[in-house]
Structure 1
């Protein structure tokens, strides 16, 4: 019974992620989510107390998956600068993809939900801080292995790089031009050296 419970809950989150990646949080109603997930509306409240709790769970799941991917991309024996640039190339590739599961929910939902829900804002903040920490750790490894020579403090550099790439993702959405990522990659290379 417990396995079925967690599978159904996960299915609802997966279906909702696709819907919300396309249209955002506020424009997708619960009726649409449960219809697309093929679960009775009443059972939604068995898994989530409110749409806000559901939104928090959606973002928590997103960050859990994304942070695991970041770990995979930033680990290895290659020089740290190369691993960081591979991460940014992955980011550009996924944001240019047509797959909704590839899209960054921080870009898609961040501005929309931060004013609606303190709980969702906190999940976004915790998730982005975790990404910063992983980038900072890789930058510090690069300072040790000599592949990164920047004099900018690791924490500042990690936050700056992440912010540049968030901005590039937003500009990609606005202009539908991949050049935002090309210029961000050039800037990342310069910031690391």
Structure 2
């Protein structure tokens, strides 16, 4: 879509505003009229940029996973061995280095929408799943880096370890949201520190396929 700078800014405004609304209410419960009112744009303008609410949802999720990937690479660009860089990522779930008062888990659309969009929209599910799969590959690469530089012990396949750790952190993020307490994230951090020193234990909880 070829848009003028002004039109591109309007489209981005809709996506940015929609992201904040989705974080608060979810996707299904968020009405189109509420999006339009918050963005201060007419319905015709919305449909000029997005063919439907579902297309808008796909675009929003694609932007989210792309932005998340860039944010992750910026975080990992700081010096450190594989273990340090991996733990820097998990620490950011509870305390964003740019704003320690909040963490990445609080603004995670996987935590917010995974179950909802899986039942709601195959296209949205696919966008979110592809983003998660790329993230798992990146986490696995960090595990491999740590093994190569000696900061992590050898163990089961790195991708298997990445899946188990990510699953644990997703569960911790959900419990933290439910309890309005960061304790589950703190416990996940402690468990990750422990499990990374004994990878066979980590991988034992994950299927081999």
User: Shorter-normalised TM-score: what interval?
Assistant: over 0.9
CA contact (8 A) 1:172 1:180 kept: yes
CA contact (8 A) 2:165 2:192 kept: yes
Match of 2:120?
A: 116
Q: What secondary structure is seen at the aligned counterpart in 2 of 1:177?
A: coil
Match of 1:125?
A: 129
Q: What are the residue-to-residue correspondences of 1:152-167 with 2, within 5 Å?
A: 152-167=156-171
CA contact (8 A) 2:106 2:177 kept: no
Unaligned runs of 5+ in 1: none
Match of 1:89?
A: 91
1:141 correspondence with 2:131: no
Structure 1 position 75, deviation (Å): 3.1
**Number of residue pairs the alignment of both structures matches:** 193
Match of 1:187?
A: 191
Match of 1:40?
A: 42
Structure with more of its chain in helix, by fraction: 1
Query: What TM-score do the two structures reach when normalised by structure 1?
Result: 0.93
CA contact (8 A) 1:21 1:100 kept: no
2:155 to 151, 154, 162: 151
Structure 1 position 191, deviation (Å): 2.1
Structure 1 position 113, deviation (Å): 1.2
1:178 to 168, 173, 182: 182
2:54 to 52, 55, 80: 52
Query: What TM-score do the two structures reach when normalised by structure 2?
Result: 0.86
1:29 correspondence with 2:31: yes
Match of 1:80?
A: 82
CA contact (8 A) 1:25 1:109 kept: yes
1:68-98 Cα offsets, whole Å, 9 max, x none, are 111122234311111111111111125x956
Structure 1 position 102, deviation (Å): 5.3
CA 101–78 in structure 1, closer or farther in 2 if over 3 Å, else same: closer
Unaligned runs of 5+ in 2: 198-209
CA 56–62 in structure 1, closer or farther in 2 if over 3 Å, else same: same
Q: What secondary structure is seen at the aligned counterpart in 2 of 1:115?
A: helix
How large is the Cα RMSD of the aligned pairs? 2.0
Match of 2:64?
A: 62
Match of 1:3?
A: 5
CA 6–102 in structure 1, closer or farther in 2 if over 3 Å, else same: farther
